[in-house]
Structure 1
Amino acid sequence: MTVTVRFAPSPTGHIHIGNARTALFNWLFALKNKGRFIQRFDDTDIGRSKQEYADGILYDLHWLGIFPDAVDYQSRRFDTYDAAVERLKASGRLYPCYETAEELELKRKVQLSRRLPPVYGREALKLTEAEKADLEGEGRQPHWRFLLPNFRTDPFETERTEIHWNDVVRGEETVDLGSLSDPVLVRADGTYLYTLPSVADDIDMGVSHVIRGDDHVTNTGVQIALFQALGAEPPAFGHHNLLTTTSGEGLSKRTGALSISGLRESGIEPMAIASLAVLIGTSENVSAVRTMEELAENFDPASTSKSASKFDPAELGVLNRVLLHAMPFEEAQTRLLAFGVDGERAEPFWLAVRGNLDTLADAQKWWRIVNESPEQGEQLSDEDRDFVGEAFDLLPEEPWDGSTWKTWTGQVREKTGRKGKALFMPLRLALTGLHSGPELADLLPLLGREGTLARRP
């Protein structure tokens, strides 16, 4: 059997790092098992779903390094869902209900006031055909509920009915169908809720493993029953813990909190996001992993904690710096072109500055400093200005290499008696305009003797 997974967001906004966690869990599971990854859009809510969001989600996934084997849209598959509905109606597993939202809410409040669980009592099953006709004559259209198999012969005598599965992430799980209301699968206006299209698609697309957030654990019991009612073997299920903000709030596509597009625009590397999104809340230490293949090699969904994980965006900055500081020129070369970094000096420049970057875009500042002029920062004191002028008189002749800085400062120290910070800081300010930055031993050959003399105060 080919392992087949799917990622099925609603295209109603930009995906955030919590959504990316689900996508990455599925992608890594497929990679590790040489399986297939299906990108499926739950866009049956025509009013809120937008193609621009679907396109944005695909772009975000590609940028992260996730490349689906197939892409599909639920809005194009209504024939499949209609056929599933007819099968359920024919088997007596889908029945019409005519209560309004207000009537259902009133029943719920009455049950709660009596300290009873607010479970739907299946009153609609008692309606005769004449009563249904009368209700429809009043203008009511039915919504359709799935009759859960939580009874023996009489649907009004429910009993504990356990659904068990070995969760890919959480281990042994159990849901009692006897404690649940029959779920609505089709609204009164004929539109579908999430459950039926999801199950019908998983059957039709041969999905073998459903890996998603643990807010769906209870849904799984219902969905397993629905798979069986449609004559299909349920897939394996896995439910990972959710990410929250540091204050414990959930992430939302609608608010745009920590969206992948926003993190990308702020200069965060895709593997920094992937490393944190996958490793946080697991038994593995959160570290910067360079490639998706490396991440997949050690990926074990069962190592995930059952409790929610608080996500601190500051951790992304740490991982980002680790990745950039170790990034080979070949990996950065094409991207550096966007910042004007090109030519025969591009590689030595990158090797000189990468250890001081927070984001790749920071390289542009250092390229400008090397090729144009120092930053307009703190001014030298008169004493330091005189010292730098004296030091510039001692500049060695070319050719220059990585040892030139040591040779030069050694001569300056011998001539002026300055050492340590008193020697190095005025030279750094004169050459770069900044108090900190890449090793001047690496920058000096890039500046060259002529470029260095041009910075003489």
Structure 2
Amino acid sequence: MSSSTSQTIRTRFAPSPTGYLHLGGARTALFSWAFARHHNGVFVLRIEDTDIERSTPEAVQAILNGMDWLGMQPDEGPFYQMERVELYRDVIERMLNEGHAYYCYSSPEEVNAMREKARLAGLKPRYDGTWRPEPGKTLPPVPQDRKPVVRFKTPQDGATSWNDLVKGPISIDNSELDDLVIARADGTPTYNFCVVVDDWDMQITHVIRGDDHINNTPRQINILRALGGTLPQYGHVPMILGPDGEKLSKRHGAVSVMQYDDDGYLPEAMVNYLARLGWSHGNDEVFSREQFIEWFDTRNLSKSAAQWDPKKLNWVNAHYIRESSNQRLAEKVAPRIVKLDGNPEAVDLEAVMGLLKERAETLNQLAEEAMLFCGPYIPADAELKQEHLTPEALTVLADFAGQAATLPEWTTPALSDLIKTVLKQHNLKMPKLGIPLRVAVTGRKQTPAVDAVLSLLGRETVLKRLAATLENR
């Protein structure tokens, strides 16, 4: 859709701080952020912390950390609902005075009984409107020992309809809707009410959120109309499914977004991959943040659920690792090497990154591979030695070591030329020298290009390890 010339696009991400920022929330935030950026609008972050029992400062911080890591800094906020309670109370008072809301003294047990009665009658379980004021209706006596909740007086006729940005026209009969509780007996406002007041007060123009909120939308629209507010445009994106087609859960990797940082994923890879979960631009799979903002259009949001694919995420991450500078990779991998008890300063780490990054899928994998240079030397086991360090191989290694000691310069090209010379002198194919060299110098049968590995390990280390191998023959 195109931006209105007279209206600033304002979107919001409004998580509840009852846990970490999960993948579904991060994707919702990403779409809202990209829509605002595409239209040169405003992206608002709002923390919906009215669930006092479950909201924690740690969860708030986890959400902020996740947003920051993904590079989705808000233009306004974070705003906290618990700091806006006076505004909600003022609006509730106004709605009571204007007849859009009323006090309800039914106890939770009575409401449950009403719902059960409706269920047994084959009707939708709901509050029966006992305390709803109507012309000519006599209300029950007010119980003296009970604090009331406040309910919104939902329209009973007609339907509430909207043209969803993702799903198209949606219409729900008002007869399906309860008179929603908008303030609890202790006076605290409820989620659906606070959302509406915030969207109204913050002049939100577009609400992009998960389709688990569709049932809330007609209730919120009715409250907003009662306030005389302008309706935002709503877009409900389908959920993310696991690789097995079931709802995404922890066993699929639906953990905190920050866990992916810990696991060695780059934020730009995560943004790219999340963007493709339910949105597309032709067949483009890899694109920059700037391209994503330029291309983003709600018309390209999918109506069907997206499927989480760890292999695809690894493929995207591998692309961004290859595209990253060696300096940046070295900075990100160094602390991971330290966690593995390695010493990132033992070698030219940028050069190591250049050698390893073509085959790595994660930063953690890079760190593990870099331990070849940064970790303690572990000689080959007896089986590997017996297989590859044969008398013939040791003769060739001794010749290689002697010539390597006198190389004018210790570089990859010089070592490459030396390897070719020794192979020619002994009339051998590459594996007959390459594998014994690897086993003797690294303790491993497989490594990246052996000339580059020897160059990075340095003359002193290589000759020392070759000497130790030859002494023990």
Query: TM-score, normalization: structure 2?
Result: 0.84
Q: Distance in 1 between matches of 2:408 and 2:458?
A: 8
Q: Distance in 1 between matches of 2:41 and 2:321?
A: 31
User: Which of the residues 178, 181, 188 maps onto 1:181?
Assistant: 178
State the secondary structure of the residue aligned to 1:175.
Answer: strand
Work out whether 1:380 is the aligned partner of 2:385: yes
CA contact 1:413–1:423 (8 Å) conserved in 2: yes
CA contact 1:401–1:445 (8 Å) conserved in 2: yes
Q: Distance in 2 between matches of 1:376 and 1:150?
A: 80
CA contact 1:397–1:449 (8 Å) conserved in 2: no
195-204 or 238-247, larger mean C-alpha shift: 238-247
Query: CA offset at residue 40 of structure 1?
Result: 0.8
Work out whether 1:360 is the aligned partner of 2:363: yes
CA contact 2:85–2:189 (8 Å) conserved in 1: no
- Residue aligning to 1:370: 373
CA contact 2:150–2:183 (8 Å) conserved in 1: yes
State the secondary structure of the residue aligned to 2:156.
Answer: coil
User: Which of the residues 239, 243, 249 maps onto 1:242?
Assistant: 239
139-148 or 360-369, larger mean C-alpha shift: 360-369
- Residue aligning to 1:157: none
State the secondary structure of the residue aligned to 2:236.
Answer: strand
User: Which of the residues 420, 427, 431 maps onto 1:410?
Assistant: 420
Aligned-residue RMSD, C-alpha? 2.9
Query: CA offset at residue 27 of structure 1?
Result: 1.4
Work out whether 1:392 is the aligned partner of 2:392: no
1:116-161 deviations in whole A, cap 9, x for unaligned? Answer: 23343323225999855x4421x2222222122233xxxxxxxx32
Q: Distance in 1 between matches of 2:120 and 2:100?
A: 30
15-24 or 270-279, larger mean C-alpha shift: 270-279
| Structure 2: unaligned runs, 5 residues or longer | 1-6, 338-342
Where do residues 14-53 of structure 1 align in structure 2 (5 Å cutoff)?
A: 14-53=20-59
CA contact 1:241–1:307 (8 Å) conserved in 2: yes
Residue 371 and residue 116 in structure 1: after superposition, are their counterparts in 2 closer, same or farther (change >3 A)?
A: closer
Where do residues 291-370 of structure 1 align in structure 2 (5 Å cutoff)?
A: 291-338=288-335, 339=337, 341=344, 345-370=348-373
Q: Distance in 2 between matches of 1:341 and 1:35?
A: 44
User: Which of the residues 143, 162, 179 maps onto 1:136?
Assistant: 143
Query: What amino acid does structure 2 have at the position aligned with 1:388?
Result: L
Query: What amino acid does structure 2 have at the position aligned with 1:452?
Result: V
356-365 or 48-57, larger mean C-alpha shift: 356-365
User: Which of the residues 449, 458, 464 maps onto 1:454?
Assistant: 464
- Residue aligning to 1:274: 271
Residue 346 and residue 204 in structure 1: after superposition, are their counterparts in 2 closer, same or farther (change >3 A)?
A: same
Query: TM-score, normalization: structure 1?
Result: 0.87
- Residue aligning to 2:101: 94
34-43 or 313-322, larger mean C-alpha shift: 313-322
Q: Percent identity?
A: 32
Q: Distance in 1 between matches of 2:171 and 2:451?
A: 64
Q: Distance in 2 between matches of 1:443 and 1:110?
A: 77
Residue 432 and residue 287 in structure 1: after superposition, are their counterparts in 2 closer, same or farther (change >3 A)?
A: farther
Where do residues 117-156 of structure 1 align in structure 2 (5 Å cutoff)?
A: 117-125=124-132, 132=140, 134-137=141-144, 139-151=145-157
Q: Distance in 2 between matches of 1:252 and 1:341?
A: 36
CA contact 1:241–1:281 (8 Å) conserved in 2: yes
CA contact 1:141–1:189 (8 Å) conserved in 2: yes
User: Which of the residues 200, 208, 219 maps onto 2:197?
Assistant: 200
- Residue aligning to 1:65: 71
Residue 150 and residue 252 in structure 1: after superposition, are their counterparts in 2 closer, same or farther (change >3 A)?
A: farther
1:394-420 deviations in whole A, cap 9, x for unaligned? Answer: 437132444234312212222333314
| Structure 1: unaligned runs, 5 residues or longer | 152-159
State the secondary structure of the residue aligned to 1:15.
Answer: coil
